[in-house]
Amino acid sequence: MNIVLLGSTGRLGNLIHNQLNTENIPTFVLRKEILSANKDFQNFFSNLPNETIILDVSLPTGTEHLIAQVKLLNSEIKNKLKGIVIGTTGHTNAQQEKIKDLSNEFPVCLVSNFSKGVFLFDQILNAKTSNGLTVCDLARSLGFDLALNEIHHTQKKDAPSGTAVSLANTAKLPLERLSSTRVGNVIGEHTLYFSQDSEMLEIKHSAHSRKLFALGAIQICKNMYAKSPVAGLLSKEGFFTQ
């Protein structure tokens, strides 16, 4: 497996790059200046080995530029790509449509959070209870009021976070029931509240180290490589585990 890494200068990208080097996984850094010049981009990809996965942890604009350039590659170069993992969040509707269009040609896994704990959080909310309802639907039937809050560091650009939006969608929460806090250097906390007059229940995930996101991103790439999926917009559920 070979990795093309876009966004290596960011916090997460730098951690991923270091971890890839630690694991001796061949890595090719796609720099911004290469991404912005079609000829340089073509040359960069023409010199890549086969069995390559693109890992994008840049910004929504970086994803958009990546898609535009990849679409221009010839079929011989495109055949080198086994898949694309996109870990950027905050895409506009137009950018989301471009990602969907790209998935007509390549396996594309769009991941709002590389944490295994957040993946488990989402699975808990999706799980069916003994009467066939999801946890959140059962809570509503029992009279609980639901709301979700997320906390991140002050440098995080999107609010609410992509993770919070994803969890809210799973919980069938309207966006007005979702709140965001930006403070200090908090890596990430997501809390779903179930409240009624006499009691409250919380499901909470806290990230204690950014390295967990790097490890999760690489694991998804490894599993995508091992499973060799066909083109399509793929759910992360299939790539957190073998």
The two tokens of residue 141 are 């039937």
Look up tokens 């957040």; give the residue: 118
- Given 152, 190, 205, 236, the catalytic residue: 152
Catalytic residue list contains 156: yes
**H-helix segments, the chain:** 11-22, 32-35, 38-46, 60-71, 75-78, 93-102, 116-126, 135-141, 162-170, 211-227
Q: Strand 2-6 and strand 27-30: pairing?
A: parallel
Measured in degrees and rounded to the nearest 5, phi and psi for residue 221 equal -65, -45
- Given 98, 156, 211, 222, the catalytic residue: 156
Q: Are 141 and 135 in contact (CB under 8 A)?
A: no
Residues designated catalytic: 152, 156
